[in-house]
């Protein structure tokens, strides 16, 4: 069906409130040919040129849809699906420049830079997608274990949408993940930006395949029950001349240069830019059937050094109001390191309206603590306990993301100090601590291999590490830990309140031992966690427990590790010896560099009871 502008749509676009702008702008099939539409303020002349005009330097002249509208449109009868094209803009200074389509849904493989008239359009939602959304919709009382993926470097011969759709979904289900998060799939000219310096926000990265193949990857994930999250980058864009940069010869989409990344910040003061960005978020949900977005660089947009940017604050509120109205099942996670309050509080309660926030403070504290020597840990004990001061202020995701294994930061394994075997012991404890701490989980691809070399965007992960015993045992350990987390309700049913967590001993800094309880909604269903972060063995460690019951060891960080699992008693009887503010206690052998999960043994009811 051909699109026809009306006055309300024009008004809403210029007010920053037209959130389906992708329906109007870009290249669309019409009964008479291909309809091209673009917003270019303050231009003398706008044309479209491409395969259909033999790239004539005059192109096909476009017309304003209404005086003062700044919106140019033309139907080109001989243009067709698959044609390459660009816009030719004559600036107010008389210079002619060529630009890719800001709303283009497909583009050439870099370094080529033309947009492509795409046949990609809305498709019916599959039954597999509906099932994923029904299971996940608005439901935060569930396990969430996210696997973060860079499409171009997961595995050799799997660096495309199509190849990944055949191998990645099954791998993730087998290894206990519930969601996959893809680093930006939007069109970017430089692979070294990892997708975060985007040229075309509506087109997928062409080096990995076409739009249909990307949607096929999403569908393949849905088919096995995985939720799909895309990284989304509204904070800045690439300065390449063919893109949004100085779109009419002067600043249109941009504000100032981003001080960290050499990109341009979006000019959120301009309402048409808000229409562009918020429509873009909706586009990926509507056209690619994704389940969520992780919003990159929220802190850099809020600019806390300037007492928070009120325009950015209102932008996020508008974004989240729109998304949850149209896509109530959505996951909208903020990558935010600021102390801005109520990031995950609904807008109608005065919040920013996200439903998850990355817990950057927890991540930094945990990684720093586990990189310390045993002597240093005594003074840094608070780094593993402080996160509980604010753990329920927001709905958190605990991330070990790509940012922690690049640029000389070392891999997770290599951050651990000590001898070769000690590094693996500590990494196992780190992950057990993560999985038993309140909050949803995210781990970057390849962490399961425990590599020593940092991630490289242009090479496959080091799957060869599985040829070595220590790496292979950690790989099996993380597989088992993931599956234990999925089935253990006490670790996720009450993630967002003190009802689900209780310190048993938070103050044993001398021994660097931490003891805490995780509790399911059914309060008799709980887990006791004890972590010994030092090398010293505790041959008779007394630990407080809430009831006089027999307790069973259900998980150990020493699983698969050097036979130490067999040295720990499998059951322990509580005695009426008060300890650590608990009425009862158990005694266990606690090896050095070990984390244990212990549960009370419950008698099963007979069917005829």
The tens digit of pLDDT for each residue in 473-519 reads 999 999 999 999 999 999 999 999 999 999 999 999 999 999 999 99
The tens digit of pLDDT for each residue in 12-66 reads 999 999 999 999 999 999 999 999 999 999 999 999 999 999 999 999 999 999 9
The tens digit of pLDDT for each residue in 506-564 reads 999 999 999 999 999 999 999 999 999 999 999 999 999 999 999 999 999 987 655 44
For the cut 70, the answer to whether the pLDDT of residue 568 exceeds it is: no
What's the order of all strands across the beta sheet hosting 236-237?
236-237, 264-266, 254-257
Q: 180 vs 124, which has greater pLDDT?
A: 180
Burial class (CB in 10 A: 0-12, 13-18, 19+), 328: exposed
User: Active site residue: 181, 254, 296, 336, which one?
Assistant: 296
Give, in order, the Cα–Cα distances in Å from 111 to each of 156, 471, 600.
Answer: 22, 38, 61
The tens digit of pLDDT for each residue in 276-318 reads 999 999 999 999 999 999 999 999 999 877 789 999 999 999 9
Domains and CATH numbers, the chain: 7-116 (2.60.40.10), 184-201+226-488 (3.20.20.80), 499-600 (2.60.40.1180)
DSSP codes of every residue in 33-92 = EEEEEEE-SSEEEEEEEEGGGTT-SS-EE-EESSTT--EEEEEETT--TT-EEEEEEEET
Confidence of residue 567 (pLDDT cuts 50, 70, 90): low
Q: For residue 570, what pLDDT is reported?
A: 85
**Overall residue count recorded for the chain in this entry:** 609
β-bridge partners, 338:
none
Active site residue 421: no
The tens digit of pLDDT for each residue in 386-424 reads 999 999 999 999 999 999 999 899 999 999 999 999 999
Q: For residue 261, what pLDDT is reported?
A: 86
Active site residue 535: no
For the cut 90, the answer to whether the pLDDT of residue 3 exceeds it is: no
Average of per-residue pLDDT values in the chain: 94
- Torsion angle of C-alpha atoms 293, 298, 302, 304, degrees rounded to 10: 150
For the cut 60, the answer to whether the pLDDT of residue 205 exceeds it is: yes
Name the token pair of 288. Answer: 């690619």
Enter the pTM of the model.
Answer: 0.95
The tens digit of pLDDT for each residue in 129-149 reads 888 888 876 678 899 999 999
- 């051909």: which residue's tokens? 2
DSSP codes of every residue in 477-493 = HHHHHHHHHHH-GGGTT
Q: For residue 138, what pLDDT is reported?
A: 66
Q: How many angstroms separate the CA atoms of 22 and 355, rounded?
A: 25
Query: What backbone phi and psi angles, to 5 degrees, belong to 572?
Result: -145, 135
User: Active site residue: 83, 219, 242, 335, which one?
Assistant: 335
């Amino acid at each position: 069906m051909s699109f026809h502008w009306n006055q309300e749509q024009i008004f809403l676009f210029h007010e920053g409130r037209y959130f389906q702008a992708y329906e109007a702008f870009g290249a669309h099939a019409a009964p008479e040919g291909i309809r091209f539409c673009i917003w270019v303020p303050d231009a003398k002349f706008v044309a479209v040129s491409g395969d259909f005009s033999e790239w004539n330097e005059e192109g096909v002249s476009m017309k304003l849809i209404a005086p003062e509208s700044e919106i140019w449109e033309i139907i080109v009868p001989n243009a067709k699906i698959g044609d390459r094209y660009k816009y030719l803009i004559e600036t107010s200074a008389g210079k002619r420049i060529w630009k890719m389509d800001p709303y283009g849904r497909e583009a050439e493989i870099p370094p080529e830079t033309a947009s492509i008239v795409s046949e990609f359009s809305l498709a019916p939602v599959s039954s597999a997608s509906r099932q994923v959304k029904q299971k996940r919709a608005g439901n935060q009382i569930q396990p969430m274990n996210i696997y973060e993926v860079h499409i171009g470097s997961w595995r050799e011969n799997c660096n495309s949408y199509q190849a990944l759709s055949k191998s990645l979904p099954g791998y993730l289900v087998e290894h206990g993940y519930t969601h996959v998060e893809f680093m930006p799939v939007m069109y970017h000219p430089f692979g070294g930006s990892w997708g975060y310096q985007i040229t075309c926000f509506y087109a997928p990265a062409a080096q990995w395949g076409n739009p249909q193949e990307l949607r096929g990857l999403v569908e393949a994930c849905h088919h096995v029950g995985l939720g799909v999250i895309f990284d989304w980058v509204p904070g800045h864009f690439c300065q390449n001349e063919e893109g949004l940069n100085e779109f009419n010869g002067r600043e249109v989409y941009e504000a100032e240069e981003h001080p960290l990344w050499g990109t341009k910040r979006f000019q959120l003061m301009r309402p048409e830019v808000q229409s562009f960005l918020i429509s873009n978020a909706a586009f990926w949900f509507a056209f690619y059937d994704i389940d969520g977005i992780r919003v990159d660089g929220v802190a850099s947009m809020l600019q806390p050094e300037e007492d928070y940017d009120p325009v950015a604050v209102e932008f996020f509120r508008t974004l989240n109001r729109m998304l949850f109205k149209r896509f109530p099942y959505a996951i909208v996670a903020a990558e935010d390191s600021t102390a801005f309050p109520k990031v995950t509080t609904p807008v109608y309660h005065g919040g920013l309206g996200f439903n998850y926030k990355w817990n950057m403070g927890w991540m930094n504290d945990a990684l720093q603590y586990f990189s310390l020597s045993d002597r240093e840990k005594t003074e840094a004990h608070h780094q593993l306990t402080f996160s509980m001061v604010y753990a329920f202020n927001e709905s958190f995701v605990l991330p070990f993301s790509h940012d922690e294994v690049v640029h000389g930061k070392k891999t997770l394994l290599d951050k651990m100090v000590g001898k070769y075997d000690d590094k693996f012991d500590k990494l196992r404890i780190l992950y057990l601590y993560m999985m038993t701490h309140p909050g949803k989980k995210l781990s970057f691809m390849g962490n399961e291999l425990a590599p020593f070399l940092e991630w490289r965007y242009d090479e496959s992960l080091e799957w060869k590490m599985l040829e070595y015993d220590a790496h292979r045992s950690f790989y099996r350990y993380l597989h088992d830990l993931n599956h234990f987390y999925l089935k253990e309700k006490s670790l996720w049913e009450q993630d967002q309140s003190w009802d689900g967590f209780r310190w048993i001993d938070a103050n044993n800094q001398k021994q660097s031992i931490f003891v805490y309880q995780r509790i399911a909604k059914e309060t008799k269903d709980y887990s006791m966690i004890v972590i010994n972060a030092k090398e010293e063995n505790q041959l008779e460690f007394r630990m407080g427990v809430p009831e006089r019951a027999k307790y069973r060891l259900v998980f150990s960080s020493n699983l698969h590790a050097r036979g130490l699992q067999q040295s720990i008693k499998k059951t322990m009887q509580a005695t009426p010896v008060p300890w650590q503010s608990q009425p009862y206690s158990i005694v266990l052998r606690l090896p050095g560099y070990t984390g244990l999960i212990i549960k009370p043994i419950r008698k099963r009811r007979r069917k005829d009871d």
